[in-house]
Structure 1
Amino acid sequence: MAERELAPYARIAGELRGRIERGELRPGDRVPSTRAITQRWGVAMATAGKVLALLGQEGLVRAVPGVGTVVAVRPATGGPGRRPAAAEDETAQRARIVRAAVEIADAEGLAGLTMRRLGAELGVSAMSLYRHVSGKEQLVALMADAAFGEQALPERPPPHWRDGLELSAAVQWRLYRAHPWLAAVMNLNRPLLIPNGIRHIDWALAALDGLGLDAGARMHAAVTLFGYVRGHAVDLEPESEATRTSGVSGEQWMRAQEARLAALMEGGSFPAFAAARAEADLSPESLLDYGLSALLDGLAARITTPPN
């Protein structure tokens, strides 16, 4: 049967089954709840219930009281010499912990992530987590590294330096949008020394090589670019938290301020602001793009060796 002919619950179950079979969801990992399924795929609660029921009948998931529906541990095959699937090695266990922590922080903010909360999510005691991570500080560093590793920069950068830096900035912005907590943990004064974060600096340095800039200028340019994108992203988590707690989106909040803003404009107290506001349509992306263009224009003026 073609995929478009499948019932909605069967199609969604097929997607989740594929993630389990590919190892993207491992034994013990939570699968989307019925509520999450309704929100992500736009189906009714009854349909979402059928999805989990079908996966349960196939032995792929099981319900854990107080935790939710998780991927079931399936018996290993291949003879007595094969290690059971439940006996994950240290790397796999730590990766599972980090994935769960990222999911919590994405949904509830970094403040909602505690070792107790994480343990409950994984169905283990909080103390057992300390066998794999030394504490929340190390956990957050691992989370940031995992987040930056989600979207790899191409092995070969674009031939023009500006295209390369714009691509790096765009990837960073997408990661910050996907993980609103991420910008707040990336401190330039006390940087997290994570491989996937350093990779963005390395990419920018390579893009600027051979343009007549000395090592100090290249490093300043690369770190400035990283800090610029991060600076625009630091408002994402407070905005996400405000939307989550109030139920009012940023756009809705701005529309609600129109009357107050109009009152401030009365009497001509701010003529330049009023005139520019009538013409400008600001958004996080437009502000990011405008500043990035200005930053790269300024950098271009410092380049003494034209690119090939």
Structure 2
Amino acid sequence: MPTIRQIQMVRTLAEHRHFTRAANALGVTQSALTKSLQALEDELGVRLFDRGTGEPEPTLFGGIVLDHGRTLLRDMSELVREIDLAKGLETGGITVSASVFPSELWAPQALGRLAEAHPRLNCVLRAGDARQAVDDVSEGVSDVAIADAAEAEGRDNLDSEILATTRLAMFCRPEHPLARRRVVRPNDLLEYPFAGPPLPRALVGRDLLKLVRTAFSVAPGGQLVPRLSVGSFSAMARMVLHSNALGWAPEVLLADDFRHGVFRQLKTDAPAIGATFALFTRRNRTPSPATIEFVQLVKAMLPSGARQ
């Protein structure tokens, strides 16, 4: 009977397609990984990976182990989570996923305060685009996510709660050709690339529809992807600072940079755009004490009037 450790080994090797990298990820030597794989193959009587093509490729039998192993590992993760839930806040951990702007505005600060109050708690922050953050919760990878509220659409296995709405500002470097214009027309923006994370379609108003159609491409999932797609606010800011790219972000993130002249805010004649963020959790899943306290810490950080 394959063990959980052996299934983890097969999954890691399939992900990395390289024995040394997989062994490093597992924290074992390459020879130990090879011996464990051979022992599992001998036990099952089949070959799980083809090794003669330069990189290990799962065979039909390896694919079966991966398919069934995914469920077993998820169930084991749930088992460990339920035990941690029973133990409370003194042990166990919490994993939070956040999209680009919430991963700057609230998530790290709240996790830091949670860790300060409970030193033995393991805290993990996964930052990425909004869709991946919500997928993490849907798939049981994370306990809670903070992401664009638009991602709630079609997520029947999730509960969402509106957290805050923030005004978005468009910005550029001080030397940008558009920086000294009092009002920038949407057509003027088309001459320059946009840098930032994917946007949900729900953010786009009718007045900006032409701009979006020209400057963004539509991903299969419906997200609007800029020409310079980045996964963090700091990467966006650096890209804008060193090029004629244009960026956008919540005004609160840019207030100090505007005040000190690091960036210039662009004023357009289009209506202001606001981004609405929500908390996401798995439906019918009892939140852990750590998750409950994390959510309380996030809400306590919001200024009055931020929540809708």
- State the TM-score, normalizing by the size of structure 2: 0.29
Q: Which structure is richer in relative contact order (CA contacts within 8 A, separation 6 or more)? A: 2
Compare the two structures and name the one with the higher strand fraction.
Answer: 2
Compare the two structures and name the one with the higher helix fraction.
Answer: 1
